[in-house]
Amino acid sequence: MRKGILRLAALSSAAVLTTLSLSACGDDGGESQGPGKIGVILPDTKSSVRWENFDRPFLEQSFKAAGVEYDIQNAENSTQRFQTIADQMLTSGVSVLVLTGLDSNSAAAVQRKAQQQGVKTIDYDRLTLGGVADYYVSFDNVKVGEELGKGLQKCLGDEDANIVYLNGAPTDNNATLFSQGAHNILDKVTSYKKVAEQAVPEWDNQRAATIFEQMWTQQNGEIDGVLAANDGLGNAAISILKKNGRAGDVPVTGQDASVQGLQNILDGTQCMTVYKPVKQEADALAKIAVAVLKGQQAQTNGTTNDPQGKRQVPSVLLTPIGTDKSNIKRVVDDGFVKKEELCTGAYAAKCAEAGIQ
C-alpha cells in the first residue's frame, strides 16, 4: 500500500518533468493530463521499414486520438539499448510498457522488472515467449504464413518446383509462425520439393542475400520459387536473381507492403506481399493500453499460446491480406502507402495499369 503511494508520488513528479522535457524536445505527444503515460519500444530500423515508416506514425495517431501521453523509442537492434530505454521509461513513470522484443529472453527480463514495479506490459506484434505480458496485439501470424504459401502457390501453379525458404530471425516467434503457416500450405502440394530452408539472423537483409546466393550456388540455380518471409528478405533474393538474369522468372514472396516490395510487384520481380494494416494494429494497441491505464479489463478476441511460459495470453489478432498486382490498389486506397511515393517515375504507368488512381 505504502509502496503504491510512493509510486504515485514519483509518478506525478515524473509526469511533470517529462511534460516539460517533452515540449522542449518535441519527440512525444498527447495531452499532459490523463490516466498516465504509455511507453513503446520498437525493435530496430533495418529488419523492416515498417517500424519507423508505419508503426511509429500510426501509433502516434492512435495515441493522440485517444488523448494519452506517450513515448515511442527504437532499440536499433541492440538488446542493451532496449534494456536502457526500458529502465529510463520505468524511471520516468510510464504506467504501461509496450514492447516489440528483439528476442524473448531480453524482453521477458524487462517485463519482469516492470511487473515488480507494478507496471503492466503489452506485447506488440511479437509474442515474448516465457514473458509476463498482460496482453498481446498482433496479426494472426500463422495466417500471415499461410498467405505467403498461398501467394507462392498461385505464382508457381501446380507444376514441379524446387522451393527454398528464407525465414525471419530465429529469435522472433513470428518468424516461426510464418514458416509454420507457409508449410501448412506448401507441404500439401506434392509437386513441390523443399530444397533448402534457412533462418536469417536478425532479419538482416545483407545476410539474406549471402544465404540466398549460397543456396543458388548449391542448387546450381535450380530454384523455382522463394518463400521469403518479408519484403526485405525478398528483395535480397531478387538482387541475387537479377545478378543471375533470372529475376521475374522465379517467384519471390514478401511481407509488409513496403514501397520497395510493392514496386517489385509492379515490376514483376516479386510475386506478392502480405499487407498488414498496421493502422488497425496501432488502434487495437491504443485501445488496450488506455483500458489498462484506466484499470479496466481490455477487450480481446482470443488468446495466444506461449509454449515456453505454458500460458494463454489474452490477445487481439488481426487479419493479414495477401496482396499481388490484382489487389495492390487497396494498399494505396487505405492510405497505407501514398501514391506519390509508390508511383514515381517509371512506376506511374505501372500503377495506372494496376488501377491505382
Q: How many CA atoms lie within 13 A of 250 on its CB side?
A: 27
- Contact between 255 and ligand BGC by CB under 6 A: the answer reads yes
Residue 232 CB, nearest distance to ligand BGC (Å)? 7
| Residue span binding ligand BGC (CB under 6 A) among the ranges 28-36, 47-55, 303-311, 336-344 | 47-55
Pick out residues in 151-190 that bind ligand BGC (CB under 6 A). 168, 172, 174
C-alpha cell at 46: 533495418
* 232: nearest Cα among 194, 205, 253, 267: 205
Q: How far apart are CA 330 and CA 319, in angstroms?
A: 15
Q: Where are the alpha helices (DSSP H) in 29-103?
A: 50, 56-66, 79-91
Residue 203 CB, nearest distance to ligand BGC (Å)? 4
Residue 276 CB, nearest distance to ligand BGC (Å)? 6
Q: Which is nearer to ligand BGC, 153 or 230 (CB)?
A: 230
The label of the residue with cell 524446387 reads: 162
* 260: nearest Cα among 285, 277, 282, 237: 237
| Residue span binding ligand BGC (CB under 6 A) among the ranges 45-53, 68-76, 88-96, 114-122 | 45-53
Spell out where 120-241 has E strands: 120-124, 135-139, 161-167, 192-199, 225-228
Q: Which is nearer to ligand BGC, 97 or 229 (CB)?
A: 229
Q: Which is nearer to ligand BGC, 18 or 205 (CB)?
A: 205
Q: Which of 37, 50, 143, 150 binds ligand BGC (CB under 6 A)?
A: 50
- Contact between 143 and ligand BGC by CB under 6 A: the answer reads no
Q: Which helix (H) or strand (E) holds 153?
A: helix 141-156
- Contact between 48 and ligand BGC by CB under 6 A: the answer reads yes
C-alpha cell at 128: 515474448
DSSP 52: I
- Contact between 47 and ligand BGC by CB under 6 A: the answer reads yes
Q: Which of 54, 70, 165, 203 binds ligand BGC (CB under 6 A)?
A: 203
Q: How far apart are CA 356 and CA 336, in angstroms?
A: 13
Size of the site for ligand BGC (CB under 6 A): 12
Q: Which of 62, 111, 230, 269 binds ligand BGC (CB under 6 A)?
A: 230
Residue 342 CB, nearest distance to ligand BGC (Å)? 18
Q: How far apart are CA 29 and CA 25, in angstroms?
A: 10
- Contact between 69 and ligand BGC by CB under 6 A: the answer reads no
- Contact between 270 and ligand BGC by CB under 6 A: the answer reads no
> Quick check: 144 and 179 in contact, CB under 8 A?
no
> Quick check: 47 and 204 in contact, CB under 8 A?
yes
Q: Which is nearer to ligand BGC, 47 or 153 (CB)?
A: 47
By CB under 6 A, name the binding residues for ligand BGC.
47-48, 50, 125-126, 168, 172, 174, 203, 230, 255-256
